[in-house]
Chain A
Amino acid sequence: MENENIITQLSIFVSNEPGRLAAIAEILKNFNINVKGFNLAESSEFGILRTIVENPDRAFDCIRSKGVIVKKTDIIGIATEDSSGSLFEAAQIMAKAGINVEYGYSYTGKDSDQLFVRVNDTEKAIKVLKEAGVKLIKRSELQ
């Protein structure tokens, strides 16, 4: 059975052309894709839009049908009440377990803050975080 704590993020390639981001946002809008969180990583000549969406499988197919480069990436969502303290705690647990955090971004929700991270070993990270009592977001909570 798939681990319910693994969250699917969609990573979208955005080239450095005026209007490219707007064009992608328009695709999301036209397909009624509900965005729960996003982050734009950029270098000087291109960007990568990372998004958490409702029904990522459908969103993936919709985006790809428009010829846009999109990829599914497994990430973990950490529910936090006090983000700086929790970030420290989670980071320390993973560091001890030898897990590398590749990138992360946060989103302030209604009930809690959410911290999304991409790590080099998702399964192991979920295991050690859960064992340490850190509250992880379930995939179903984002639907």
Chain B
Amino acid sequence: MPWYLHLALRQLFPTGRWFPFFTVISALGVALGVTLLVIVMGVMGGFAYEIRHMITDTEGEVQVKARGWIAGYPEVVKRVESVAGVAAATPYAVDHVMIKFGDKAEYPMLRGIDLDSVERVTPLDKYVRVGSLSDLDDDSIILSQQLAAGLGARVGDTIEVYSPLIIEKLGADAVFLPRQVRVVGILEIGHQQLDSSTVYGTLRLAQDLYGLGTTVHGLNVRLEPGVNEDDAAARINAVLPADVRAFSWQDSFSDFLWVLNLERNMIFFLLLFIVIVAAFSVMSSLLISVVRKTREIGLLGALGGRPAHVAACFCAQGLFIGVLGTAAGLALGFTGLAFRNNLVLWVTRVTQREEVMRRYYQFSELPSHLSGATVALIAATAIVISTLAGLLPAWKAARMKPVEALRSE
């Protein structure tokens, strides 16, 4: 091992001292920053991961859309399913409706699904909390959980559905009465927007309400595991008519994903400041060390140590503190993530807010997902910042002339 690394290690971990104060305090600052980054990025990643799953569960991995409507959709479904990597496709029709129950009205999206094929593409049944998808017919609907709660509707109730077609035909002296439908299920997807404004009905019900005839608005496509969504969308586009296009879910929800990424990046940079503040503390400690060890620095020069190596000795101390703090921070962070739900449970119990938590966040457990790339980014950033903190002390040490350093009092 080069002498400057050996000396850096020895100065951080002097012989016979297990917990050198300066090293432990400096590393602790970095560790706290890394711990927070791991926990917060893990939980945010968990939310994003769940949301992405929810999107692909409800919309498929590829969406096929037309400028207006897709006519002859069975043929389009057949073509799409013939593409390599496509597992299944299912048609849908979706638009705004007004629903009324008693004196309460809401304006959700009513999504018509093909009961014969929907389960092969979107596993909706697993989100149905009350009732069952198999109970759905052309005179019934499934309400999303918050929408049902807002209306006060339960399974078995009958509600009125007003479609846009009614408004369109008002001027034509035609009378279109609202459709009376039964509630046969309550569905909870876990996403605020979907759970507060979505109604599921059959494809035929939606076609009737929107006056679509035999056309549909689009197709949801499920891919075989491991197939790249963008590549699959490109292959599907090759077999589609000119006015019908396929989009990967990333393209379809690009704005939403952009906002998710923006939030994630902003949080990362904000929490990074904890590591930066810790790095200033490391720098300050190393600067004091340079002043305190001025005569030792002179000695190293007198023994033939080159200024660059003297600098490397102090820079390496920043690096070692960064590595130690990052390792401790990762260990603490992953421990924190492992016990996150116990912590949430304890906080909600102590504050008696378990129900509030469920009502507002639609979960009783904190999700967590941390990719290897994110862990590597956190670790690399913390280590690089700590190493950079050693640069100024290293520069000061390298500039010292041995003869002056040895003379210093």
Asked if A pairs with B, the answer is no
Residues of B whose CB lies within 8 Å of any CB of A are none
Residues of A whose CB lies within 8 Å of any CB of B are none
